[in-house]
Every structure is written in structure tokens, then in C-alpha cells.
Structure 1
Amino acid sequence: MRPHILFVAAEAAPLAKTGGLGDVVGALADALNGDGIRTSILMPGYPSALAQLELLKPCGWITTLPGREAGLWRGLMPDSNVEVILLRDDDLFCRPGGPYLDIDGREYADNALRFAALGHAAAIIASGGTEIEVPQVVHAHDWHAGLVPLLMRHYGSKARSVFTIHNLAFQGNYPLELAEACGVPAHAREDGSVEYWGQLSFMKAALNYADRISTVSDTYAQEILTPEFGAGFDGMLRQRVRDLVAVPNGIDTECWNPAEDELIARNFSQDDLRGKHACKRELQKTFGLPFDPFAPLLAMGSRLTGQKMADVAIEAFPALLAAHPRLQIAVLGCGDREIEEGLRALALAYPARLAVHIGYDEAHAHCLHAGADMLLHGSRFEPFGLTPLYAMRYGTVPVASRLGGLADTILDAGDVSAPVAGATGFLFSGETAEDMISAVDRALAMFAQPQCWRALQRADMAIDAGWEKSSQRYIELYRTLIEEPAQALFQPVSRERHPRSPEQASMMRA
């Protein structure tokens, strides 16, 4: 009999996606199913998910959610045999905005209640409170599912739990007075195991109660044990280091495949790069840049936030354009309004050199990665970094920060005078415009040497970026948990209370 794993997540591509989390959940579930593990996904019943699932039908009703009741609907992922269970509560999840933000870009005021409901539904399923098969392992993804391990214990589930940190900076911190309304058990409200600087922390609940904690790259697993990258939880994580494992992310290599991609102008491969020239022309046309097959084209495709150093890029771009007269820059993304406006202003100042598309869709993303020569991916912290891997699949060479998963997946090419054999990109340390400019300058110098550049492109396209190895590591983790006897009495790692000063409150990341 195949082991049954229940994923719990706020998003899963293609049903709902705001970033890398959705990509990972959807692709990993599919990979595990192909490796002999029965994987189901529990997620909110967003309109987009209800519209896309195949063979959708009701499969149960939960009447014991905090202050409400909701339906359960089951279907299959499009073009996949991954089972998806939707928690259907139209008041909570059928809204005109996105999964987390309203149409004006503001966080929904009741997000704590929305994702607490998801956590209760998962725990009720895991304890046999519905007709859905009880899983052997519940795998909760990121803070939105942070209450799941705690609630599984509260409901008496015998299933084991894994919690994956996709980004420790996003913690799900809310006013502590919401804990009771969210159905947090009384003992956890009283003993400090979910309290963090005077707030209810979904992340702290997960770090205290999950049987195992995983994160998404080897370097990030070490970084989060330090005050610099631990986002206030480095002490807890050091106490649970024996339960912390690193399983690097992969990507969907069928979706991101230049040889078969239907969203790009012309297909190409590692052995025949001629189609990339047509894709570059299409990118220039799409973004309104002059057609120039020999101009180096630098792309930036990410959330336009401080984390992604988009503010630093705004400072660096004018200097790069001045130093390299033929350089073109194409930017795709959305995020902080101030950064968006800054990029729009640069596009007006350099109308034939720099183009910006505010927003995100798959067609523009595939066009960007297929047509660009190089991808700029700065970051102040980066758990993994999926975007450079997408670009590398298309022979677009990354220029990225030397930290987190980026340091694990990109081998620095060095200098054009002594290029490193087998290199795949360019890395830089630091957070200044000068640091970024120096790395782009090295990339542009290498671009001017066609033979060296082709070697970089082919090395990028040859990287094994799929889920095969990582899914096997998750399978081994699940099997270890299933065979391991459960603890007779669980003691939270940290019951420390964190009285919050006004200065500390202003520094907290929501």
C-alpha cells in the first residue's frame, strides 16, 4: 500500500500562485506521486481552484471549525493525477483579490482566521474526523499552515508532521487576542509556545510542534541558525537542529523546457541554440525595445521588493546603461508601489534602453527567460531562488547574490581573463549598487567573448534542476517518520515569552 501524504498549503500551481511556494507545492506533489507516494493537497477553495480542478465533487462537511463550518470538495489537478481537496468557505476564500491581498494590494484583515480555518481542517482530516482517508504524514508548507502541527496534537491525530520553511521572514504574526478566535488551544495560549513579541505567531507554533522541520536549500538551513538570517527564530532552530533537514527545491522541467515550450517564439535546445535568437527578438518586441541581435539584454524578473534588492537595481541601472551604450534592460514584476514608480521613471528616462512591465503572467515570464542573455537576481536573503533556475534552463545566465540557495545552485564564472570551467553564472556579495554593478560588468565582459558565453549557456542548460533527487529525500524523511515511534509527551522547545517594546514592534516582520 502506498504511503499517503497530505500537503497543506495556501497555494499550489496552477490552481493558485503568487510566487515560488505555489510552484514548489504543485510540482513536488506531482513528483512524489510519480515516485510511488500518494500525495494529496489541502488548500483553500479559491475561485481559480474551483474553476480549474477536474472531476470536482463534494466530499464532506466540517462543522467544528472555529466559529464556522465549511465544505470539502475533491478533484484532480489539470493534466495530473494529484488529488486536491479544497476547503470551501466562500466568505473566507472567494474574493476579488488574490490569496492574501485585496484588489488594492492590502492584506485581508482576517487572514489569521482564514488560515487558522485551513489548519483546523487539516488537523480534523488527520485525526479521522471526516470520510477522507487519514494520511500517515501531514506536510505543512510555510506560515499559512503553521498551526497544523499544534492542532494535530490537539485533535489527537496519530499522523506525523513535517513543516517546511519556505521563507522564515514571513511568519504569520497577528494580535495575540486573536488566538482564541483562531481556535488555538488554551494551553498553547497560556504557556507561551505560540507567543512571539506579544503576538500570535503561526511560525512559532510550527517550529515548536512539528515532528520535523525542513527548509529548501543547504546553505539556507545553515544561515537560519544565525541571528543575521534567523529572523528572531535562530535560537529555537538551534535547539531543534537535530530535527532540521535541508531538501533543495527543484523545478517543473516539463513546464520550463525550451525544446517544447509553447509560450516562446521558437523552440531551442542545448545542442541547437538558434531558436534563442528568435526569442530575443520577441522579447525586444514585447517590451518595446529596439531590435538589436547583438545588444546584451539584461532581464530582471521578480517581486519588486527590498528583499529582492529592486531598490538597489534602480540605483545601479543608470550607471550600467551609461557604461555600456548597447545594453538593454527588461524588467518584469510587481511589488512595492514606490519601487514600481521608480522603475517606471527610469523607463521614461531611458525609453529605448530600459523597459518595464508591471505585473506577472506566465507568457511574459517565459518570454523573458527565453529571450534574455542574462538575468539579474539580487537578494538580501534567498531561501532557494527558483527564478535563476528557470532562466538557466533557457540559456539565460544568472547574475545573483551569493547567499542561500543561490550559492548552492550557481557556480561563479570568475573573470574573463581566467574563466572557471563548468561555471554557470556570476555571484556577488553585499547589498550596494557597486556590488551589483561589478558582477554585471563581469558578465558583460564574458558576453563579449562568444566562445566563453556559449560554454556558460550550455553549462546552465545541462544542470539537473528537476525534482527527482529531492523527492527521494522527502520520501526517505516520510518513511523515517512513519517508522519512528511517536513521542509519548511533547514538550514545546520554547515557552519563552517575548514582551514587546514599541521599538521591537516596529522591527517585526509580518
Structure 2
Amino acid sequence: MANKKSPSTETLQNNTKSPDLGGKKDADANATAVSASKQSEVNKPTAPGVTATKETKPPASPAATTEDEKTSTPSKMPKFPADTVHVAGPTSTVEAKHGNSPAKPIPTDPLAKIDLPAQPPVVKPLAKDPLALPNQQRPLPSEVDFVAGLAPLPTDTNDDEITKRELLRDVEAQFELFLGANEAIEDAVAAPLPESESKVEPAVEPSWNNTTESESVNEYYHAPEPEHRYEGPSIPHLSIIQISPELSPVAKVGGLADVVYGLCNELEIRGNSVEIILPKYDCLRYDQIWGLCETFKDLWVPWFDGSIHCTVYFGFVHGRKCFFIEPHSQDNFFNRGSVYGFKDDVMRFAFFTRAAMEFIWKSGKNPDIIHCHDWQTALAPVFLFEIYQHLGMRHPRVCFTIHNFKHQGRTGGQILQATGLNRPEYYYHYDRLRDNQVPQALNLMKAGVVYSNFITTVSPHHALEAKDQGQGFDLEPTLHIHHRKFGGVVNGVDYSVWNPEIDPLIPVHYTVDNIDGKYDDKRALRQRLMLSDNQKPIVAFVGRLDPQKGLELIRHAIFYTLSRGGQFVLLGSSPEAQINNYFWSLKHQLNDNPDCHIEIGFNEELSHLIYAGADMMIVPSRFEPCGLAQLIAMRYGTVPVVREVGGLADTVIDKDFSWRPLHERNGFVFRDYDEAGLESALGRAISCYYEFPEHFRETLKNAMRSDYSWKNPGQDYLNIYDFIREK
């Protein structure tokens, strides 16, 4: 009997040139295949549920065809019943019937014209041969692809084709399973629902133009963006509490007050919530506090075997939120007329620190960062980690800033009993509070270094000096142990206060682009201090008269300036009577000199005028953690003459002997702490003023362009806060 081929197979063989599914054969090969198939008939086994039908001999094909007939498209083909599936095999045709419609024979001659159905199935050629893919990646074939894939030519009997045929049989089995699953799903979907259940209609996305308020409540959707979004204040990034003994301008003794105020101001500008806690001194400048009121009336602070009753006040200092702690005790810790200078300062500030931590805990505050300053508040991390963490206050991290290593708060063991640290043998350990030089003493600054999450000092160069060059005042071993959490951040200057463009305390304002106003301020300074009116340079010193500041070199600078044809102005005071008396005698000695004026004490207005009117600012410190005098002087165009120590080395670049670019050189620097070193720098500055005025003018402008605002230090501290919060 003749071999039969399904229409789908014939169509695919004519339309595609895939070597896997057979190609165009020559006439001889076809004739041989047809004669061989007539001699032996092999029936393909049928799939389950499929009835095999007896084959009928197709009508003979024309003996010869032209080339046009070979390539022409068949016009008609017998239509098969919708419920009959024809499966073509290599040697026979199997008709699967679901009804009683008879099947029509199919011509076997591949060159014969075949009548196509009115709507033939669309055969989509595969983008990639599925047999070349692994079994897991083969696409599930459609019905047409499946039928066409089982009809290789009789001549394709090589090993590759046999392998592919075996693979096609696997595909056939998978396809049958697929059809069975589809039929089961269709039957389940077509089945009627029980009367108790109602068919759920698919949700329709609402229309914003027609949706009412009641309808929108029952729909799940993303609300549209409003046309005008409310731009409220930014959410605070961090909650920060600063604990400090000083704050400018209400409780100012030194540069610490300016640093705390400037840092808090910058942190709030950057969107953080900042609160400041300090003692309620009786010498506070209450005129600078707005809205002072009681906020926590009954704060009981443990002290020795009992407690001390305190009242906490709240107020604003130039927009900063401040809490003032007032103890009601016979000791009168903070009602003594000044901030420092008492024998029991250690006990006073230890109580203040314990009261501050007690207030944070009892008021329910849970800050991200507690930032404490100098030895006066160094016990804050000790109280946090030894007492208040056990009471549930585990969230805060502590940053401890050391402004001056010279004053460390050395004391005896009584401080432990007073503050509730009741294990002396535990705290008198070398790795905790015991002083490095005096084993019988405790060191509060060392306690802050050991217990804090991060320690900063006020300049990178001073951090190096404190750890490695003997400026740590016996804390070098402790700093080496904790060097991974120790660094330096240069202080900034509050340009809203110290700015020649807007300063209300100077007669004439000026900028870096127009410095003519500085010479008017210089003339006003001469008139104020009754100096001779001439073209001499004015050298000035403004600050504390402390041995740290280099008092010997300050005295030598006065006489050296006068000998070089300059004028000298000094404004300062000292808490030590001996130092004050010495400079009072020097004032009387030079009282009749028209080129020198010495002012003992402190005058805010005069300090602004000196910074604006002087030509040079001398800062010959023995050691200087950071220094604000040179930063303020540069802002006002007063060229600094400094010693290369601490923050002075980080901020002042020598005009003549620096590798830095010319536009960064903003002053004169000397290294050795002696008169020769001072004369080398101050002499170069005076000579430049007289002999190279244009160079001096450029140095002045470079100093004014130097940016030492709180912008960079504020970002540095935020980076530190983020670092310790991740621990």
C-alpha cells in the first residue's frame, strides 16, 4: 500500500527548509521510497482512546509535472471533520475519531497538487530548532508543530535522524499529557457553580473622574499624586543631645562656648534635632535666653546615699533649644558668680553630668547621639554604659570631644561613691578610670576616652601631637590603645557673628573684592585707642593670657614690633592674678608710647574692631589644640603670624616656605618656640608689608578666601555619628 502524509506535514515540508524535518528530494529517491512502502505496510500504534482506520489507496498522481506545478500553491484540500485528528507516521496514517465522520484518503505523492482547506492552520516556523536544546529548555509545541514533526522522509535513516525521532516521540507523549490537562481545566471551568456561590466579577480599575468617595473606599488602587504637594519641614535625620559646661553667648569663658554653639547651629541647619544641656549658673546672661520656663520640676538625682532635688528649665538661645539644670542643695554648685575656679570643680561637674543623664532617662528621651565636651562631662559615657543601659537606655551612642588635654579632671575615689559607681576595685583598673601616672587617682578625661564610642580633638595635627608627640599630658598610652576611635576635626567659625560684610560692631563693612573699608576700620581703631595716625602696620593679640598661649613670646613680640616700626595692640585677661599683675605693670611701662596699647580684660565690641583694623594677628602658642583667633583674623583679612603647632599648622599656610599653591598661602609660620623663631616669621611679615605691599595684599585676600566656616566640620561630625551608630 502507498505511504500517506498528512496535509500539515506536506505543507511544512514545502514551506520550510529545515534539515531536521526533511527537505526537497529528487524524483528517484521518491520513487524508490514509494515502491518500498507498497511492499510492506506498517501500522503505527494508536494513542489511548484513538481508533485506527483501514487505509485506502489514494488516486494515482500524474506521471510527470512541470516546474511551475512543483512550486505552485495548492488551491483546495478535503475538509476534515472538526472532531477527527489525523496523525501521520513514517509508513502509515492513523485516524483518530471522536465521532462517526469518515476520513478521506490523503495523496502520498509529495509533488502532487493538494487541495487546501478554506482556512488552513497557520504554521509558525520555530525561531530555533527545539531538538538542539536540552529537554528542560524545549518549548512546548503547538498541534501543527507536533504533527509536522512526526513526518520525516523515508530516506532519512541516518543515526542523527533516528535520535531526533526518538526525541520527537518524547515530545508526543508530553503533548498528549498537555492536551489531557487542558481538557480537564476546560471541563472544570465550564461546570456550573453551586447556587450558594456567586461568580466573582473581575475588578475594574476605577476612573478618577467618575469615582465617588464611597466607591473609592472599596477599591484597591494607588492614589494619584496631588497637584500641589505640601512642602513641610524635613524630618530630622538624627536626635542629638549636647552636654556642655559652656555655651555662647549665655555662659562663655573660652573658645569651647563658641564651638558648641557653632556646631549645634550647623547640625540643625542640616536637618537634625539638637538639644543642649548645661548648668543653670547664676551668672548666665539671661537677656540672651528667650522663653525661659520650668519644664521638669521634680528631678531627683542620686548623690552619695541620698538624692538632690533639681529643677530643669527650658529656653531658646538664639534659636537653639536649651535645658538648664538647677540643683537645690546647700553646696550651691552653680550659684558662685563664675563658671570655673573652685576647689570642688570636679564634684560640681560630676553632679551636673549625673543630673543630665538622669534627666535624659526620666524625661523619656532616646537620642541617637550624646555628645559631651571636655573633662567636665567626661563621665557621661561611664554613666550610660554602667548604669543607664541596664535601665533600658541602650540606643544612644557617645561622642566625646577633647578641647584641651591639659585639664583632665584628676580626683580621688570619693567621686565613685558620690555618683553611684559603687565598685572601686572595678573602676580603679588601668583599663578604666585609674590615672596613668598616679595610681591612687582617677582621671575623668581618661574615663571619657575609654567608655566613649568615638573621641575627637579639635584638629588632626593636634590629634597626632597628643598621641605621639607628648601633647597628651600622660594620656598617650590610653590614646594608643583606643587609636582606632580617635581623630581630629578642625573647629569652625560662626560666620553669622564674625563676618566683615555684616558685622554690626565695626564702623565700615568690606569684602574680599573691596577691602578699602578695612583701612577705614584701621583708622577708627587708632582713634579709639589713641594711637598715632601713621602708615605703620598694626600687630595685635586677642585672647586669654594663659601660659599655653606663649606669654614670653607675646611680650617679646610687643618690643620687637615697636623696634621694627610697627604698632602693637593687646586685648586679654587671665584668671591668675600673677599674670594679670605682670601685664598691668607692662601696660604702665608702655603707657606713654603712642604706638602701643594694652587692654586688660575682655570687650566684645573692641575685639571685633581689632580684628577688622589690625594688619597682623600674632598667635605664638606653646601648644594650640585648634585656635579661633587665627580663623577669625583670616576672615577679617588680618594676616596671621603663628607657630606651627596643633590647629595652627592645619589652618595657616606659610607665604614663603610652603609647597602649597600660591592662592592657598595665607600667613606666616615659624616652628621653634623661641625668640629667634618668632622674629623670623614676624620680621618677614613686617618686611612684606613695607617692601612688597602687593604681595602682602594678595596674602590678605588669600586669608579672606579661606573657608573655615562650620560647613566642613559639621559634615565631618555627621560622618562620625553615622560611623558609631552602625556599631
1:165 to 382, 396, 402: 402
Matched, 1:181 2:387: no
- The residue number in structure 1 matching 2:704 is 461
**3-state DSSP class of the match of 1:140?**
strand
- The residue number in structure 2 matching 1:34 is 269
Matched to 2:686, the amino acid is: L
1:87 to 307, 322, 325: 325
Gaps of 5+ in 1: 101-106, 485-510
Distance 1:136 1:422, change over 3 A: closer
Residues in 1 aligned to 2:699 and 2:491: alpha-carbon distance in whole angstroms: 22
TM alignment of 1:108-119, pairs within 5 A = 108-119=342-353
Matched, 1:355 2:593: no
1:130 to 363, 368, 390: 363
TM alignment of 1:87-486, pairs within 5 A = 87-89=325-327, 91-96=332-337, 98-100=338-340, 107-126=341-360, 128-131=361-364, 133-153=365-385, 154-156=387-389, 157-158=393-394, 159-187=396-424, 188-192=426-430, 193-196=432-435, 197=438, 198-292=440-534, 294-322=535-563, 324-325=564-565, 327-335=566-574, 336-350=576-590, 351-414=593-656, 420-448=662-690, 449-484=692-727
1:475 deviation in Å?
Answer: 1.3
Matched to 2:310, the amino acid is: A
Higher mean alpha-carbon deviation, 456-465 vs 283-292, is at 283-292
Higher mean alpha-carbon deviation, 282-291 vs 460-469, is at 282-291
What per-residue deviation string (whole Å, max 9, x for no partner) do you get for residues 82-104 of structure 1?
Answer: 211111136221222x211xxxx
Matched to 1:123, the amino acid is: M
Would you say the 8 A contact 2:308–2:327 is kept in 1? no
1:280 deviation in Å?
Answer: 1.1
Matched to 1:150, the amino acid is: V
Would you say the 8 A contact 2:299–2:359 is kept in 1? no
What per-residue deviation string (whole Å, max 9, x for no partner) do you get for residues 465-492 of structure 1?
Answer: 11112111211221222232xxxxxxxx
Residues in 2 aligned to 1:183 and 1:395: alpha-carbon distance in whole angstroms: 52
Would you say the 8 A contact 2:561–2:567 is kept in 1? no
Q: State the identity as a percent.
A: 30
Matched to 2:410, the amino acid is: N
Higher mean alpha-carbon deviation, 25-34 vs 146-155, is at 146-155
Matched to 2:355, the amino acid is: A
Would you say the 8 A contact 1:305–1:311 is kept in 2? no
1:13 to 232, 248, 251: 248
Q: CA RMSD in A?
A: 2.0
2:314 to 55, 74, 85: 74
1:295 deviation in Å?
Answer: 0.9
Residues in 1 aligned to 2:539 and 2:714: alpha-carbon distance in whole angstroms: 33
Distance 1:433 1:117, change over 3 A: same
What per-residue deviation string (whole Å, max 9, x for no partner) do you get for residues 194-231 of structure 1?
Answer: 22113232101101111111111111111111252111
Matched to 1:467, the amino acid is: W
Would you say the 8 A contact 1:4–1:135 is kept in 2? yes
- The residue number in structure 1 matching 2:89 is none
1:401 deviation in Å?
Answer: 0.8
Would you say the 8 A contact 1:116–1:183 is kept in 2? no
Residues in 2 aligned to 1:436 and 1:57: alpha-carbon distance in whole angstroms: 52
Residues in 1 aligned to 2:444 and 2:400: alpha-carbon distance in whole angstroms: 11
Residues in 2 aligned to 1:476 and 1:122: alpha-carbon distance in whole angstroms: 25
Residues in 2 aligned to 1:425 and 1:269: alpha-carbon distance in whole angstroms: 18
What per-residue deviation string (whole Å, max 9, x for no partner) do you get for residues 370-399 of structure 1?
Answer: 110000001111111111010111100000
1:415 deviation in Å?
Answer: 7.1
- The residue number in structure 1 matching 2:293 is 57
**3-state DSSP class of the match of 1:87?**
strand
1:366 deviation in Å?
Answer: 0.5
- The residue number in structure 2 matching 1:487 is none
Residues in 2 aligned to 1:482 and 1:179: alpha-carbon distance in whole angstroms: 29
1:59 deviation in Å?
Answer: 1.5
- The residue number in structure 1 matching 2:196 is none
1:45 to 280, 298, 301: 280
1:177 deviation in Å?
Answer: 3.4
Would you say the 8 A contact 1:174–1:200 is kept in 2? yes
Residues in 2 aligned to 1:387 and 1:166: alpha-carbon distance in whole angstroms: 15
- TM-score when normalising by structure 2: 0.62
- The residue number in structure 2 matching 1:25 is 260
Would you say the 8 A contact 2:627–2:647 is kept in 1? yes
Would you say the 8 A contact 2:428–2:442 is kept in 1? no
Matched to 1:89, the amino acid is: P
Q: What count of residue pairs does the alignment treat as equivalent? A: 469
Higher relative contact order (CA 8 A, sep 6+): 1
**3-state DSSP class of the match of 1:307?**
helix
Matched to 2:525, the amino acid is: L
Matched to 2:695, the amino acid is: C
Would you say the 8 A contact 1:124–1:152 is kept in 2? no
Distance 1:415 1:342, change over 3 A: farther
Residues in 2 aligned to 1:431 and 1:314: alpha-carbon distance in whole angstroms: 13
What per-residue deviation string (whole Å, max 9, x for no partner) do you get for residues 271-311 of structure 1?
Answer: 1111111211222233332222x111000111112110022
Higher mean alpha-carbon deviation, 255-264 vs 85-94, is at 85-94
1:185 deviation in Å?
Answer: 4.1
Residues in 1 aligned to 2:251 and 2:500: alpha-carbon distance in whole angstroms: 24
**3-state DSSP class of the match of 1:171?**
coil
Residues in 2 aligned to 1:222 and 1:11: alpha-carbon distance in whole angstroms: 26
Would you say the 8 A contact 1:32–1:471 is kept in 2? yes
Distance 1:206 1:261, change over 3 A: same
Residues in 2 aligned to 1:206 and 1:287: alpha-carbon distance in whole angstroms: 45
1:250 deviation in Å?
Answer: 0.6
**3-state DSSP class of the match of 2:544?**
coil
What per-residue deviation string (whole Å, max 9, x for no partner) do you get for residues 53-74 of structure 1?
Answer: 2122211132124152211111
**3-state DSSP class of the match of 1:12?**
coil
Would you say the 8 A contact 1:283–1:367 is kept in 2? yes
Matched to 1:450, the amino acid is: P
Residues in 1 aligned to 2:267 and 2:560: alpha-carbon distance in whole angstroms: 46
Residues in 2 aligned to 1:18 and 1:110: alpha-carbon distance in whole angstroms: 18
Residues in 1 aligned to 2:499 and 2:272: alpha-carbon distance in whole angstroms: 25
Residues in 1 aligned to 2:423 and 2:529: alpha-carbon distance in whole angstroms: 55
Matched to 2:467, the amino acid is: L
Distance 1:183 1:311, change over 3 A: farther
Residues in 1 aligned to 2:471 and 2:323: alpha-carbon distance in whole angstroms: 34
Matched to 1:458, the amino acid is: K
- TM-score when normalising by structure 1: 0.88
**3-state DSSP class of the match of 2:641?**
strand
Higher mean alpha-carbon deviation, 16-25 vs 218-227, is at 218-227
Residues in 2 aligned to 1:19 and 1:115: alpha-carbon distance in whole angstroms: 17
Q: Based on CA coordinates, which of the two structures has the bigger radius of gyration? A: 2
Residues in 1 aligned to 2:485 and 2:253: alpha-carbon distance in whole angstroms: 29
